[in-house]
Structure 1
Amino acid sequence: MKYIIGILVGAVIGYITNWLAIKMLFRPHEEKRIFGIKVPFTPGLIPKERKRIAKSVGEAIGAHLLTKETILNSLCSDKIKEALSGWIKGEVKKLETSDSTLEENLKSLLNGHYEEIKGDLEKNITAMVVEEVKGNEFKNKVTSIVRKEIGTLLNNSPKAVLSSQAYENIRLNLINNLNESMENGAIKENILNLISGKLEGIKENTLEEIIPPTVIGNLKVYMYNKRHEIGKYIQGALKEEKYEIKIKGIISNILSTQLNPMIAMFVNSDTIYNKIVGGASEMLETEETLVDIVLILNEVLTKVTKTKVIDILENIPASNEEQENLIGEKLWEFLLSNVKEHKVINTLIEGVESDLSNSDTLGAVFNKAGINLEEELVNFVENKLDMFLESYGLESSISKFLTSGLQRILNTEMKFIFQKEGRDLSSKISAITLDLYSTFVENKASDFIELFNISKVVEEKINEFEVTYAEEIILEIASKELSAITWLGAVLGAVMGILTPVLSALY
């Protein structure tokens, strides 16, 4: 019996001792006092040393468990990459069949900040474009492009231009437009207005001052070259009936007034006429006479060019307005009879085409005319560009253009952005994302992990736990082990209960 009692007492004592020791790890949760005197072993070990324990646990986890290398290895694992790739492909596949617009998805992503971000984006893009357009680099690029294109054009052969379909169309349009202008009277009205405005200013000038000297000189040369035709014309005129009657009348008048009546009776005016015309015709066949006639005509022309315009107009039986209209009408009739039939315009065009064909390049043509077309066009473009860039509505115009373009993009449905036959967009986006993810993990993740400070996070989290919650966690994790320790105390107590009477009996 004494052995049984010793075993039971030892077992109970061992069990209670270990159970109490385990309880004292957590309880009491707070310090206890009796009559102001602190009760020993209060609070329990864990509540009392919670901060130290939390710091030790945090340092242990940060230094040995969740190290920077461990986390980086986990982030670079194939499992993480496969999960990320699968998620991206799934999201892209959804977008490939989505009827939602880009704007709707951005609104969902940005919540209430969408309009603000969109407005700021439009303003910033507009400001950047305006700044870029107004910069010297943009103007220099435009000027360079214009100069290059003009240089290429001027280096073309005139023959190639004249043989092109574009030039033929321009030529036909020019003639057709001239015809239309002739028919609707626009040119006639312009000629009459031009004469009305300019005639008053040249009345005191002589014809010599108005008509270029080269024209008068060419006219004199023309008369000399046509001297034989002039002689034949005079011969023919002398034999015409109207001139014959006038000449015979003059002869009869001279005979009746200048000669004695007796002598006049024996002189026949027809005979004298025939003698005069015959002699004149013979003289007109000689080169000397023809040259003399041309010299006389040249002297007459010279005297005519010395005449003032006002003297000519005063001898016209009409008012100033009628004179101007008469001159305009005559000029119009001349243009209408020549230009309308394309004779003048065709001659002019053919002359220009002939001159162009004799030049190697279009640039050479303009250089002969003293025109630096390249510089003129470049300066024109630069001036127009400067006017445009300095205009008041430039920024507003660019803003409207960009806003309209951006809105068209935002209104595009996602399926039209992501869908394209033969293109595996989901795999491409997934590959790009994984590359970015890998680059981030390799180059920047370690910096973020250091900023994360795992030891400190674990320490702070443990300190936030209530003691009861920490007790529940530990008991949940080690309940079997703690229970085993408690029963181990009972076993050891029972063993001690057996050994005590045995040893007493031996000694």
Structure 2
Amino acid sequence: MEIAMTIILMMIIGALIGGFTNYLAIKMLFKPYNAVYIGKWKVPFTPGLIPKRRDEMADQMGKLVVNHLLTPESIKKKFINDQFLHDMTGIVQKEMETILQSEKSAEDILAAFGITDGQSKTEYRINLLIEQKYEKIISEYRGQPLKNVIPQGLLDKADEKIPAISSMILQKGVDYFSSIEGKMRIQRMADDFVRERSGVLSNMLQMFMGNINLADKIQPEIVRFLSNEGTADLITTLLQKEWRKILEMDASVIEEQLEKEQILSVLKNIAHRVINLENVFKKPISSFMNPYRTVLIEELAPKSVQMLSDWLSGKTEMVMERLRLAEIVREQVSNFSVERLEDMVFSIIKSELAMITNLGFLLGGIIGLVQGIIAILIN
């Protein structure tokens, strides 16, 4: 009976020692959180293992993430993965659909981002761009004849249009002088001509013409002159001659005659009429983007996602280098609360830690049993 009590007692003592030792070792991983001092003497094993080596652990975790978890190769594979591309395209299409159906105007959307006076700012930017482009072009071609400035294709079209312009001018003249207004104009001019001639010439004209209306005589002749083929050739020749003179003029002369501010004003007015910023900023996006809905959603969205994916996959190493992921992980781990880290670890492996403690009890008990038997045998 005494032998059995000795063995049981040693088993209990061994189990308590083994279990408590394991439990203490587990707790010493985290606790104490800070170094403990008695006077100036620092108590050994304080702080706990993880708080003590948190900086080293943070550095190693940063390297682990960059070198083994989030590697450029793994990121590239994700970017070119078909399922990833499909999912991203769906997200982009959904967001684009929402925007295209929105009743908000571009001005409202910009206001949501804190951008006010979008229209006036855009007008200013357009005007500034036109001025910069104009100055760049005119400084390059200033001192050269216009024929070197205007594209050859445009020059050829202008030459082809001169006969048509000549015919149009003559036809307008025929239409005008054939009208009542034109006839009245001829009559006034004839009356002024006769009235301004004094003396013998005036009396002779009145004697020969008598009551005949000069306009009735002159009008058909003017119309006949304007309709004559030779007149058309004459006007065409004159226009071509003047056009060639203009082409030989220096670009700076044209700028001086037309004035820089007037040229810029015309260019700005044309640009603003074409762009129509009032329509762009005030109307709902859906009103002027709806015709392009199919193209934007079905074609542009997938192509944009594919292009972005290709660009990112080609720039992955550079992007990851600029992000400095290792430093981010190290900083986050260094700033992470040890208490929170302990709670997180224990919540994940609570059952395993309890098993380690129980294993200490078991091993301690077995060791106590063996010690008890050996002690009995020796005695």
CA shift in 2, pair 1:144/1:412, >3 Å: farther
Report what 2:104 is aligned to: 100
Contact 1:9 1:497 in 2 (8 A): yes
**Quick one: which amino acid aligns to residue 395 of structure 1?**
L
TM-score, length-scaled by structure 2:
0.79
Contact 2:173 2:226 in 1 (8 A): no
Contact 2:79 2:312 in 1 (8 A): yes
Contact 2:14 2:365 in 1 (8 A): yes
Task: Report the alpha carbon displacement of residue 401 of structure 1 after superposing the two structures with TM.
Answer: 5.0
CA shift in 2, pair 1:116/1:444, >3 Å: farther
Task: Report the alpha carbon displacement of residue 434 of structure 1 after superposing the two structures with TM.
Answer: 1.2
Contact 1:76 1:438 in 2 (8 A): yes
In the alignment, the residues of structure 2 paired with residue 389 and residue 432 of structure 1 have an alpha-carbon distance, to the nearest angstrom, of 47
**SS in structure 2 of the partner of residue 487 of structure 1:** helix
TM-score, length-scaled by structure 1:
0.61
**Quick one: which amino acid aligns to residue 241 of structure 2?**
E
> Which of 304, 310, 313 is residue 439 of structure 1 equivalent to?
310
CA shift in 2, pair 1:378/1:9, >3 Å: same
Task: Report the alpha carbon displacement of residue 345 of structure 1 after superposing the two structures with TM.
Answer: 4.8
Please state if 1:340 is matched with 2:343. no
In the alignment, the residues of structure 1 paired with residue 184 and residue 346 of structure 2 have an alpha-carbon distance, to the nearest angstrom, of 108
Task: Report the alpha carbon displacement of residue 84 of structure 1 after superposing the two structures with TM.
Answer: 1.9
Contact 1:11 1:497 in 2 (8 A): yes
**SS in structure 1 of the partner of residue 212 of structure 2:** helix
Contact 1:101 1:410 in 2 (8 A): yes
Two-structure CA RMSD over aligned residues (Å) = 3.7
> Which of 52, 58, 61 is residue 56 of structure 2 equivalent to?
52
In the alignment, the residues of structure 2 paired with residue 482 and residue 492 of structure 1 have an alpha-carbon distance, to the nearest angstrom, of 15
Query: Which structure's CA Rg is the greater one?
Result: 1
Task: Report the alpha carbon displacement of residue 336 of structure 1 after superposing the two structures with TM.
Answer: 7.7
> Which of 345, 362, 365 is residue 491 of structure 1 equivalent to?
362
> Residue by residue, what CA displacement relative to the aligned partner does 1:226-263 show, whole Å, maximum 9, x if unpaired?
xxxxxxxxxxxxxxxxxxxxxxxxxxxxxxxxxxxxxx
**SS in structure 2 of the partner of residue 419 of structure 1:** helix
> Residue by residue, what CA displacement relative to the aligned partner does 1:330-354 show, whole Å, maximum 9, x if unpaired?
5477498374223x55356546766
**SS in structure 1 of the partner of residue 35 of structure 2:** coil
Report what 2:331 is aligned to: 460
Report what 1:374 is aligned to: 240
- Number of matched residues? 362
Please state if 1:481 is matched with 2:352. yes
Report what 1:356 is aligned to: 230
CA shift in 2, pair 1:447/1:34, >3 Å: same
CA shift in 2, pair 1:115/1:49, >3 Å: farther
Contact 1:30 1:44 in 2 (8 A): yes
CA shift in 2, pair 1:143/1:116, >3 Å: closer
Contact 2:54 2:334 in 1 (8 A): yes
In the alignment, the residues of structure 2 paired with residue 144 and residue 453 of structure 1 have an alpha-carbon distance, to the nearest angstrom, of 55
Structure 1 gaps, min length 5: 196-323
User: Equivalences for 1:165-180 in 2 at 5 Å?
Assistant: 170-176=173-179, 177-180=181-184
Contact 2:177 2:219 in 1 (8 A): no
Structure 2 gaps, min length 5: none
CA shift in 2, pair 1:355/1:491, >3 Å: closer
Contact 1:32 1:43 in 2 (8 A): yes
Task: Report the alpha carbon displacement of residue 26 of structure 1 after superposing the two structures with TM.
Answer: 1.2
